[in-house]
Amino acid sequence: MIPLFPNTCIGCGKITSTPLCCDCEQEWATKHRQASKHFSQKGDEIFTCCQYNGLGGKIIRSFKYGRRFDALPIISTALSGVVIELGEDNFSYIIPVPQSLRKIFSRGFHPIEMIGHQVSQHTSIPVNVKILKRKWSWHEKDQASLNKQNRLHNLSRSFYAIRNETWGKNLQVLLIDDVATTGTTLFRCKEAVQKQYPDWKIKILVFAHG
């Protein structure tokens, strides 16, 4: 049967009416989608759903750069699965890593916030985008274009957290991002939140690692 609105499979490019064809869906469920734990260069625990090098990378790139919004449920379902394993009742907020305004303007959407809201729907953990902020800077370079040493320097003091007593004490919160390579961005975000909320526990969850 020819689908009414033909689309291509994110994994292999085959024509299909779903974001992944049957074969890639099978591959995703049995091989690529695998919750695991990594450590950043600074020693922070990072929970992940898949490797960037493989189908996971294709899925996240198709969403972020290819505007394949039908990839969003795949991403958020995988992330929510990990949150449920960690115990969704243990978390007070989902905190999406803020994007630079330059990127939000050029893309026209905020992928991490969208992911955060979807995970929130699956897990009932509220998203709080008011805690963690990113400073507006003309000079901030794209992290992907820099080497490891420069990445750390580039992001220093880019993130800050807003102190608000009413958000609660001794909470556990979930910092969410799409991809972690060195974990530098996540470390800076965690550091910023920890500075304002030293009594909070911050768990880090990303979709793809590598």
Binding residues for Zn ion, per CB under 5 A?
9, 11-12, 14, 21, 24
Rounded CA separation 1/81 (Å): 33
Neighbouring CB atoms inside 10 A of 101's CB total 13
Residue among 14 and 148 whose Cβ is closer to Zn ion: 14
* Nearest to Zn ion of 68, 151 (CB atom): 68
Angle at the Cα of 109 (from 103 to 115), degrees rounded to 5?
A: 110
- Which residue lies nearer to Zn ion by CB, 21 or 60? 21
What is the layout of strands, in order, in the sheet containing 45-51? Answer: 36-39, 45-51, 201-209, 172-180, 93-96
Indicate the residue among 20 and 174 with the shorter CB distance to Zn ion: 20
Cβ 23 to Zn ion, closest distance in Å?
A: 5
Would you say 11 or 111 has its CB closer to Zn ion? 11
Distance in Å, CB of 21 to Zn ion, minimum: 3
Between CA 48 and CA 168 the distance in angstroms is: 27
Report the nearest approach of Zn ion to the CB of residue 3 (Å): 14
- In the complex, what is the shortest distance from the CB of residue 39 to Zn ion, in angstroms, rounded to a whole number? 32
